[in-house]
Chains A and B, each alone.
Chain A
Amino acid sequence: MSYVAGKELRIVGFLCNWCSYGGADTAGVGRFKQPTDLRIIRVPCSGRVNPLFVVKALLNGADGVLVSGCHPRDCHYSDGNFYARRRLEMLKRLLPFLGIDERRFHYTWVSASEGARWKNVVTDFTKAIHELGPFHQKEEKTE
């Protein structure tokens, strides 16, 4: 998907279908103004998110990755987000070791009614990524 070169950075979001995607929907319905850098990928549950999704996104052109799911205890599938919490915390600590700023990856819990909160999450995260700048300093050639 093309992005507005020069103005937008590539930010990928993995949102769980039930809470976070619903929350993003609520933000939309409420007409909250947000930056448009974020590109959302809907997954059934934050527990579906393989830490390698985040790594692959970052290594292959993303400047930031956001993962959002239901609040712990409120997972639509009961325990998916409990597993996600452990995996993503582990990943969050690993990325800086490899030289990837830990602020480029953020995971949070946003419920379907939290439209305003979603707007804040997106705005703050996009701002943080813009402050950090592009992850790939020059367009990486594909060979």
Chain B
Amino acid sequence: MTVEKLKEAVRKILPEVDVVIGYRQGFDPLHATPFFMTKPEQVDQLIWNPLCVQNLCSYLPFLKGKVGVIVKGCDSRAIVQYMQEKLIARENVKVIGVPCLRVISVKKVMAAINQQSVQEVTFEGENILVKTPEGQKTIPLADVAPRKCATCQLATPLQYDLLAGDAIQSNRPQDTFEETKEFEKLPLKERRAYWEKEFDRCIRCYACRNVCPMCICQDKCIAESRDPHWTSQRANVTEKSMFHMIHGLHLAGRCISCEECERVCPMDIPVAKIKKKISMDLKELFNYEAGMNPDDTPPLYTFKIEEATIKEHEL
């Protein structure tokens, strides 16, 4: 799939919509940035490569009119989840699906090149080539991809009106939540100390909340509201933990595991871990995965009279 095919798809969709959201080059060779195209000449700036990490679906619930959007497989789960929760009018969205096998994690690349400034980035086969003042480094994409890519089942998006390329399979193993299970083996005290240390760094910038495609309360978020007053303005671990609990619990059964929250945290807090734990539990309890089937109902929105998987707890 070349970027030319993508540009062709965008040019085709553009007359039918008010804006098409895609990617263009960002502030340095290692960053892509969302790009809102309204005119055909803008389409020339479109890029498509593993730098295109942002989940562009996050903009959809807040845009009026007809919108075109470029989605990768992981992003497309947001579209499906929006359909389940009726957060978008599907007929007003033109989805341009793009087959994707892997993106990069900027944080992992920077760690691999020792935080040097990036002069040039190219992609060759399964590698990313990064040129820094220290020289050129060839890094396998698999080494600097975010956690989600290793278990990706959606190389081809679930929802699309136009597919820019051929449908492909990723042939990757299913997610068995090894990381979550390993963490649960640690002693209780260690788990608590771990989270207190991680949350202590939080500055409550709400980047994780605002980038999340499923967090649509934004202006009314209870983590910030004065009435009701759930959290204090004090900058201590209790309040920070409370925000993360609010965010995680409000996403229970809705989180599509796009891991954008973890990508954007400026303080490197592994926020996606909590959501993965909840996703793992809900899969076990209700055999449910968010964002897979538009006709599903999120598990916490419904119930069964007899719950085979929930046994009453003894004291």
Contacts and interface: CB of A to CB of B under 8 A. Distances in A.
B305 interface: yes
A12 to B, nearest CB: 16
Interface in B136-178: none
Interface residues of A, number: 37
A30 interface: no
Contact of A55 (B189, B191, B242): B242
B255 to A, nearest CB: 12
A62 interface: no
B289 to A, nearest CB: 15
A29 interface: no
A53 to B, nearest CB: 10
Contact of A59 (B241, B274, B315): B241
A97 B183 contact: yes
B59 interface: no
B135 to A, nearest CB: 43
B233 to A, nearest CB: 10
Interface stretch (A1-9, A15-23, A35-43, A83-91): A83-91
B307 interface: yes
Interface in B235-259: 236, 238, 241-242, 245-246, 248-249, 252
B285 interface: yes
Nearest to A60: B238
B66 interface: no
Contacts of B196: 99
The binding surface of chain A is classed by DSSP as helix
Interface in A116-143: 121, 124-125, 128, 140, 142-143
Nearest to B180: A97
A82 B303 contact: yes
Contacts of B180: 97
Interface residues of B, number: 40
A108 interface: yes
Interface stretch (B25-33, B119-127, B260-268, B276-284): B276-284
Contacts of B248: 94
Interface in A59-97: 59-60, 72-73, 79, 82-83, 85-87, 89-94, 96-97
A113 B196 CA distance: 43
B192 A128 contact: no
Contacts of B242: 55-56, 59
28 contacts: A51-B249, A52-B245, A55-B242, A55-B249, A56-B230, A59-B238, A73-B305, A82-B304, A86-B285, A86-B307, A87-B300, A90-B252, A90-B278, A90-B282, A93-B281, A94-B281, A96-B184, A97-B180, A97-B184, A98-B195, A99-B196, A106-B315, A108-B312, A108-B315, A109-B312, A121-B315, A128-B315, A142-B234
The 7 A-B residue pairs with the shortest CB-CB distance in the complex, in nearest-first order: A99-B192, A82-B303, A99-B191, A124-B315, A93-B281, A55-B245, A97-B277
